[in-house]
């Protein structure tokens, strides 16, 4: 595990030696800040209407702010993660440093998992900045902290799937643009795959629904940690890293 952290820390620092990390974090926070402000304004306007017309009910903070905010966050990561992962192996291949990396004392699995951790660490940094939103809600209202906590867990697992896809395509090409585009396309496919379930039979439809990344996030957004959802995400990540191992192992023996 020590070797994995060595690789992870090396690649994590590399993000901040170029403008990549700063641009991604700034863009992410700008979009998230606008969405938080918009959701908060819409939430206040809705509750004022309910009070004005004496409708006897109001929208909860969880339904009005938390779920839309963190749901949109996962859409943003669908666009952001390809920029995080596209350089991990593609840059090594382009600069011909991958041969040095693969002939080092490190095992191939340690290299792959280390690079996965480096990308996940950058996602953690981005998520850490968003803690200001639940803190603000806690200071100004009485939100249910359960869905907020589980939404962060679900987001980490979901972004882990994006990263696993990105590492796979980065290992398959030396062109970072191609790796990023394929990562986005594959992530979008697994996001929208459930749409096809209505056009097929019940058994095949259930299988397609099960492959949908966003369907497994729904329980997390409601404050529920379902073991089947956790197993799915971890299995998805494991398959992605395994395929990356096979792709690099094939490249090594060419």
Confidence of residue 172 (pLDDT cuts 50, 70, 90): confident
pLDDT band with cut points at 50, 70 and 90 for residue 139: confident
With a cut of 60, say whether residue 73 has pLDDT above it: yes
Instruction: Give the separation between CA 48 and CA 212, rounded to whole angstroms.
Output: 37
Under the banding of pLDDT at 50, 70 and 90, the label for residue 50 is low
Q: What is the mean pLDDT of residues 131-138?
A: 88
Which carries the bigger pLDDT value, residue 101 or residue 178? 178
- Chain centre to alpha carbon of residue 13: 20
Task: Output the pLDDT for position 156.
Answer: 94
Q: How far apart are CA 170 and CA 85, in angstroms?
A: 7
Percent of residues, the chain, with pLDDT higher than 90: 34
**pLDDT band, residue 224 (cuts 50/70/90):** confident
């Amino acid at each position: 595990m020590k070797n994995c952290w060595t690789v992870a820390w090396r690649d994590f620092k590399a993000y901040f030696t170029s403008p990549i990390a700063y641009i991604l974090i700034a863009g992410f926070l700008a979009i998230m800040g606008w969405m938080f402000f918009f959701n908060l304004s819409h939430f206040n306007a809705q509750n004022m209407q309910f009070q004005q017309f004496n409708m006897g009910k109001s929208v909860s903070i969880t339904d009005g702010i938390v779920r839309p905010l963190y749901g949109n966050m996962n859409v943003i990561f669908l666009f952001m993660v390809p920029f995080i992962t596209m350089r991990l192996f593609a840059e090594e291949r382009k600069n011909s440093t991958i041969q040095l990396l693969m002939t080092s004392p490190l095992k191939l699995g340690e290299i792959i998992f280390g690079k996965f951790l480096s990308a996940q660490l950058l996602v953690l940094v981005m998520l850490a900045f968003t803690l200001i939103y639940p803190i603000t809600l806690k200071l100004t209202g009485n939100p249910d902290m359960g869905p907020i906590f589980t939404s962060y867990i679900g987001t980490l697992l979901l972004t882990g799937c994006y990263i696993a896809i990105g590492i796979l395509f980065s290992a398959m090409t030396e062109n970072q643009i191609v790796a990023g585009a394929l990562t986005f396309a594959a992530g979008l496919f697994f996001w929208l795959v459930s749409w096809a379930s209505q056009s097929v039979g019940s058994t095949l439809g259930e299988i397609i629904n099960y492959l949908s990344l966003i369907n497994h996030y729904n329980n997390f957004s409601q404050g529920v940690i379902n073991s089947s959802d956790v197993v799915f995400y971890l299995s998805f990540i494991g398959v992605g890293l395994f395929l990356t191992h096979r792709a690099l192992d094939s490249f090594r023996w060419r």
